[in-house]
Amino acid sequence: MTSIALKKCKPYEIIWTYDFQEIKALWEDLGREDNYFLSGEFIRAIDAAPPKGSRSLYCVLTIDGRVVGRCYSQLVDVHMIQSLNIDEQEKLNLWANVYRKFRTKLSRTLQGTLLCFGHLLLSGNRGIEFAPEIGDVEQALLIQDMAICLHNGVNKQQKVIVVLVKDLKSTHRFEEKNSLSCQYSELNIPPSMSLDIEPDWKSLEDYLASFKSKYRVRVKKAKKRAVDLRFEPMTQLDIIENEAKINEMYLKIANQASFNLFELNDRYFSTLKAGLGDRLRVYGIWDGAELVGFYSSIKAYSTLEAHFLGYDPSAVKQYDIYLNILIRLVEEGIREKMDNVYFARTAHEIKSSIGAKPIEYCNYLRHKQILPNQLVPLFLKNLVPQESYELRNPFKQEELVNS
């Protein structure tokens, strides 16, 4: 384990290591049990099959020998051209080709090892937490200082070109201008989506009864289209037997995204199922004897976390497969008496059409070199296309709150 005194927030210090067992006692000394994704069970399971080209770090924050914070981080090799799905061989017209060359050249400035300060595989405030007595303003300053000190500490062993401080609560926004915050650039990343489960929803029928007619009709039509499909929970043996197909379908969907920082381990789902047991559920979607899709969820105390999915793109229109997956996740959340279903940050429009609402998070980037660090906002504006969408409101008695 390595100890580093914070530069600005004295007398705090961080202790970090690559070995969870080495820091396990300190990690658990924080005494918080409300974030399942920072539990020893989840960390051991996810680290047994980490994303390709990644390595985990574990960091605790202490003051006077007492643990008052912790952060789960990862190092990941980033190949921006692949992450942005830039096809350098595709034939384009003149201006499209010029723009592709511009994006390719910019992407190479962010090529190398990235330190993700927070959970790489999850969206939302999942990777950082503090003792209750530390207020939000102080937490924001500590996060800025911790990430810089961890970056400097890791750089002594492995060169890290950029730090991503991922998915901070809005109360952790780096609003105060100081020598720490000026080293970061804020990223414009779409919000995550979450649906609160109302207490009077005892069944899917109760939930749909709260919908306006046109949204209820749309769900019923989608369910009718998928009447010939079987949605069945998969055992660990089922997952192992079908893992190649599961990974193939996951990649088909992941590669459609405009930006991806990681690729899942080929054994990710079977390994996570072995570690989490019934907390992880993987559902196969079958058309006769053929596996045409899957989706997964994690029971994280009172939250049902929608996890990775995949399907054959040809089945989307025929079976309205994506909407059926969303509705089944809501049905699972109601059945399991969850407080909410957390859907992450893609497909905002269709998720809002089933009642999910946006949750804004703050994300920051810090390049190791001064000049590229100043140009990061321009780089990202041109590298990562911004998606446009319109939020919907399916409920009878609510007005849509625009984000």
Residues 200, 334: Cα–Cα separation, whole Å: 10
Lookup: tokens for 153: 């500490």
Average pLDDT along the chain: 87
Parallel/antiparallel/unpaired status of strands 66-78 and 112-117: antiparallel
Beta strands 112-117; 357-359: pairing state? unpaired
Between CA 116 and CA 74 the distance in angstroms is 5
Name 30's Cβ contacts closer than 8 Å, sequence gap at least 6.
60, 67, 68, 69, 70, 129, 131
Give the pLDDT of residue 39: 96
Q: Indicate if the alpha-carbon torsion angle 358, 360, 366, 372 is positive or negative.
A: positive
Q: At what angle do helices 213-225 and 321-335 cross, to 10 degrees?
A: 110
Q: Distance between CA 164 and CA 28 in Å, rounded?
A: 25
User: Which pLDDT does position 244 carry in this prediction?
Assistant: 97
Helix (H) or strand (E) holding 333: helix 321-335
Question: Tokens for 42?
Answer: 């989840």
Q: Which token pair is 2?
A: 């390595």
pLDDT tens digits along 110-131: 667 889 999 999 999 999 999 9
pLDDT for the residue 385: 56
CA 45 to chain centre: 17
DSSP letter for each residue of 290-312: EEEEEEEEEEETTEEEEEEEEE-
Q: Measuring CA to CA, which residue among 140, 129, 150, 149 is closest to residue 178?
A: 140
DSSP H or E stretch at residue 315 = helix 315-319
- Give me the pLDDT at residue 156, please: 79
Coil/strand/helix, residue 192 = strand
Q: What is the pLDDT of residue 95?
A: 64
Task: Show Cβ contacts of residue 199 under 8 Å, excluding neighbours closer than 6 positions.
Answer: none
Q: Which domains are present in the chain?
A: 2-189+361-368 (3.40.630), 192-359 (3.40.630.30)
pLDDT along the chain (403 residues), means of 10: 93 96 96 92 95 94 96 85 49 62 61 88 94 94 94 86 90 78 81 96 96 96 94 97 96 76 92 97 96 97 96 83 97 97 91 96 83 65 66 78 40
Q: How far apart are CA 323 and CA 354, in angstroms?
A: 9
Report how far residue 243's alpha carbon sits from residue 249's, in angstroms, rounded to the nearest whole number.
10
Question: In degrees, to the nearest 5, what angle opens at C-alpha 200 toward C-alphas 197 and 206?
Answer: 85
Q: Tell which residue, 309, 320, 338, 321, has the closest CA to residue 234.
A: 309
Among 296, 369, 301, which Cα is nearest to 340's? 301
Peptide bond into 50 cis (omega under 30): no
CA distances from 121 to 140, 223, 264, 316, 331 (A): 22, 30, 9, 25, 24
pLDDT value for 54: 92
- So what's the pLDDT on residue 81? 39
Token pair 């058309």 in the structure block, residue:
287
Specify the amino acid at residue 299: K
